Structures are given as structure tokens and as C-alpha cells.
């Protein structure tokens, strides 16, 4: 009987020790699982933040390309009207929330030449900052032919609240900034253009570019009379 009781006690001690091991192992596994879950949440938060930053940087890159490739190459382009006055105007219109201008582009073929007529504005229906291009002469004061000669559209940014343009001119050898640049008051294009974009989340960025040719004597499409 003593031997049997001793063996029973040994088996009981051995079972108690195994249970403690299971409890300790379970605690360690729960701690490791908590560490892994915390690390996973931190990783996915960092990944989401990196994706947001990358997407925003891509937006900035899209706008930079338009500013460098189009705004910087903005040129004066004359257009003679067909009304009774036969007036000649620059194909340019600058409003506080929209700009329409002519720009030079690289020509890789013989189709369309090396000029683009384009406009940049925020589409109120989609909250998108868009740049629209046309290889055909598009006049800011005649926009009824959009259906006949539609623009090619590029979306530069989404979730945009509004865009503001400022135009640099020269007055008495001093550079001035105005919110509107129309053909009635100016017979040349601005020296520079500043574009401010504000997104729905409240962030704001500015871009400033000088134009390629803003001199009054540097024009495309000018009509010169030849003495006979």
C-alpha cells in the first residue's frame, strides 16, 4: 500500500507540473501573439501612410510636369477676328479659377504641329483638377465648339476644393500681380503664372512658373502687312 501511494503521489506531482508548463506556454504564446498583432497593426499603418504619401507625391509630379512642360513653354499667339473691326488678340485668358493659353510642345510627327491650345481648371462636378489639350486652335471667347472639337483631358488631382491663379505683369518697371488677365486690358501674355491648389482636406500647394515668351514683339500667328 505504501508503494502504491508513493507512485500515486509521483503521478500527481508529475501531472501538476505538466499543467503549469501548459499555462506558462499558453501565456508565452499569448504574449508573442500580442507582439505580432501590435507589430502587424504598426506595419499596416505605416504601409497605408506610405501609400498616401506616395499617391500625393504622384499628384505633385503630375502637376509639376504640366507646369514645366506647358506653363513654362507658354507663348504669345495672335488670332485675327473675323468681325467688322478685324481685331487681333492674344489667344490667352486668365481668370481667378481658370486659365486658357497656347503652349509649345515637342513634335514627334507631322500631325497637329508643335502647338497645344489648353486650359486648366477645377471640374465642379467631379472635384478634379483637369488639364485639357487641343491640337486645333481653341479660342477662349468661343467655347461653343467643344462638342465639335473635344479636348483631350488629363486629370491632375482629385478631391480638389478650388484653384486660384495669379498673373504677373509689369507696370512702370515694377512687377505686379493681378487675379484676372483679359484681352481687353492686355495685348501680351503674363510674365509668370502662379497656381495655388487647395484640396478638400485643407492642404494647399503653390506652383510658380515664368512663361517662355512674354515680350510684346514675340508672337506666333502675327499678321504683318507687306508694302507693295
For the stretch 86-97, pLDDT in tens is 677 778 999 999
Q: How far is CA 16 from CA 4, 8, 24, in A?
A: 18, 12, 12
Could you tell me where the DSSP H helices lie in the chain? 2-66
Q: What is the pLDDT of residue 179?
A: 94
Q: What is the pLDDT of residue 10?
A: 54
Q: What is the pLDDT of residue 107?
A: 53
User: Which of 211 and 52 is assigned the larger pLDDT?
Assistant: 211
Q: What is the pLDDT of residue 195?
A: 96
Q: How far is CA 193 from CA 24, 58, 206, in A?
A: 70, 22, 11
Above 70 in pLDDT, residue 30? yes
The rounded distance, in Å, linking the Cα atoms of 224 and 227 is 10
Q: What is the pLDDT of residue 8?
A: 53
User: Which of 130 and 109 is assigned the larger pLDDT?
Assistant: 130
Stretch 110-131: mean pLDDT: 85
Going by pLDDT thresholds of 50, 70 and 90, the confidence category of residue 125 is very high
**pLDDT winner (highest mean) among 13-27, 45-59, 153-167, 185-199:** 153-167
User: Which of 76 and 141 is assigned the larger pLDDT?
Assistant: 76
Task: Give the predicted TM-score (pTM) of the model.
Answer: 0.71
Going by pLDDT thresholds of 50, 70 and 90, the confidence category of residue 22 is confident
Q: Are the C-beta atoms of residues 114 and 105 closer than 8 Å to each other?
A: yes
* Mean pLDDT for the chain overall: 79
Q: What is the pLDDT of residue 147?
A: 61
Q: What is the pLDDT of residue 217?
A: 46
Q: What is the pLDDT of residue 71?
A: 93
Going by pLDDT thresholds of 50, 70 and 90, the confidence category of residue 57 is confident
The rounded distance, in Å, linking the Cα atoms of 207 and 192 is 11
Above 60 in pLDDT, residue 192? yes
Which residues are paired to 205 by β-bridges?
197
Amino acid at each position: 500500500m505504501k508503494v502504491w501511494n508513493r507512485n500515486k503521489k509521483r503521478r500527481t506531482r508529475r501531472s501538476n507540473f505538466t499543467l503549469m508548463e501548459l499555462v506558462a506556454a499558453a501565456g508565452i504564446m499569448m504574449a508573442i501573439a500580442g507582439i505580432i498583432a501590435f507589430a502587424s497593426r504598426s506595419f499596416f499603418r505605416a504601409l497605408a501612410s506610405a501609400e498616401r504619401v506616395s499617391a500625393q507625391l504622384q499628384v505633385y509630379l503630375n502637376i509639376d510636369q504640366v507646369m514645366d512642360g506647358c506653363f513654362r513653354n507658354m507663348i504669345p499667339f495672335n488670332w485675327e477676328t473675323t468681325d467688322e473691326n478685324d481685331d487681333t488678340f492674344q489667344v490667352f485668358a486668365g481668370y481667378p479659377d481658370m486659365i486658357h493659353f497656347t503652349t509649345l510642345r515637342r513634335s514627334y510627327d507631322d500631325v497637329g504641329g508643335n502647338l497645344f491650345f489648353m486650359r486648366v481648371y477645377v471640374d465642379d462636378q467631379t472635384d478634379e483638377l483637369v488639364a485639357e489639350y487641343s491640337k486645333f486652335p481653341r479660342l477662349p471667347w468661343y467655347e461653343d465648339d467643344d462638342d465639335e472639337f473635344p479636348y483631350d483631358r488629363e486629370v491632375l488631382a482629385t478631391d480638389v476644393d478650388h484653384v486660384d491663379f495669379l498673373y504677373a505683369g509689369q507696370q512702370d518697371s515694377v512687377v505686379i500681380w493681378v487675379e484676372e488677365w483679359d484681352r481687353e486690358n492686355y495685348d501680351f501674355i503674363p510674365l509668370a503664372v502662379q497656381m495655388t491648389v487647395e484640396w478638400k482636406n485643407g492642404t494647399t500647394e503653390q506652383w510658380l512658373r515664368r512663361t517662355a515668351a512674354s515680350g510684346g514683339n514675340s508672337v506666333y500667328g502675327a499678321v504683318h502687312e507687306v508694302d507693295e
